[in-house]
Amino acid sequence: MSAQSANRRLTAPDIAARKGDAEAAPIVALTAYTAPMARLVDQVADVILVGDSLGMVVYGYDSTLPVTVDMMILHAQAVMRASTRALVVVDLPFAAYEAGPVQAFEAAARIMKETGCGAVKLEGGAHMAETVRFITQRGIPVMGHTGLTPQAIATLGSFRAQGRERAQWPQMIADAQAIAEAGAFSVVVEAVAEPLAVEITKAVHVPVIGIGASAQCDGQILVLDDMLGLTPRTPKFVRRYAEIGAQAERALADYAQEVRERRFPSPQQTYPERKGDQKA
């Protein structure tokens, strides 16, 4: 990390410039939805994504489809308040941009104005290129998202990996290229066959950030709660770097037991009576 980037928040052009920079380390990206987590992630990440995955992670929905623009704004505001260095990217949720470029711009502009974030992200391949071009030409940086696109779960049928058959590769490579050529500063590629991810990374002129893709991508992103072990089930592509969920369960059980046995609070957690000039 350069001294310059340490003293200011990273921008979309900063991330875009990492493509082809032999001296630059791969881009580190993670999701965050709350101020406490954003404060932690900001210490290590280049990009914080306020993902619509919050619908599943925070709200307990079965998919990302119920997420609204209002929900995204509230969480993005919290993340922005708690971070100072990472580029904050906010997902455009389902039904906020698919109707056309004007709808997409209005949603993106509202999110940018009300949160102060540095970019938005939208899902889709070549059919979304016109929308990406429309938004970026009007001053809003866009991160693309191809491969497995969770907002299309109703048509995909399941959260399954994409591009496992080589016959699918040309279209998937073309999708990523179309989004990049339309002006996206980077493209997330999710849950695709590893050699396909390598080919996409070579074919696209902006950074390709993988999730369930390849170590050869220009960067990586994971859902924070997945990699910390806070979610009960995780996709194959997630490495659980901690098991905080299990630790929390033990802590909660210890607390409950001590309360029931009247061992909490102890004298160390209570206030004695003040007598005379004695201070509490």
Best CA proximity match to 69, nearest among 114, 34, 101: 114
Residue 123 annotated as binding site = yes
Is 121 in a helix, a strand, or coil? strand
Catalytic residue among 98, 114, 190, 258: 190
Best CA proximity match to 180, nearest among 145, 149, 147: 145
249 is catalytic: no
Please give the structure tokens belonging to residue 135: 């938004």
Please list the residues that pair with 145 across neighbouring strands: 124, 188
Please give the structure tokens belonging to residue 241: 């770097």
Residue 225 annotated as binding site = no
Residue 91 annotated as binding site = yes
Please list the residues that pair with 221 across neighbouring strands: 29
Alpha helices in the chain (DSSP H): 3-7, 12-16, 35-41, 54-57, 69-82, 101-115, 129-136, 153-156, 169-181, 194-203, 224-227, 244-260
Residue 53 annotated as binding site = yes
Q: What residues are designated binding site?
A: 52-53, 91, 121, 123
Tell me which residues are annotated as active site: 190
Q: What residues are designated binding site for Mg(2+)?
A: 52, 91, 123
Q: What residues are designated binding site for 3-methyl-2-oxobutanoate?
A: 52-53, 91, 121
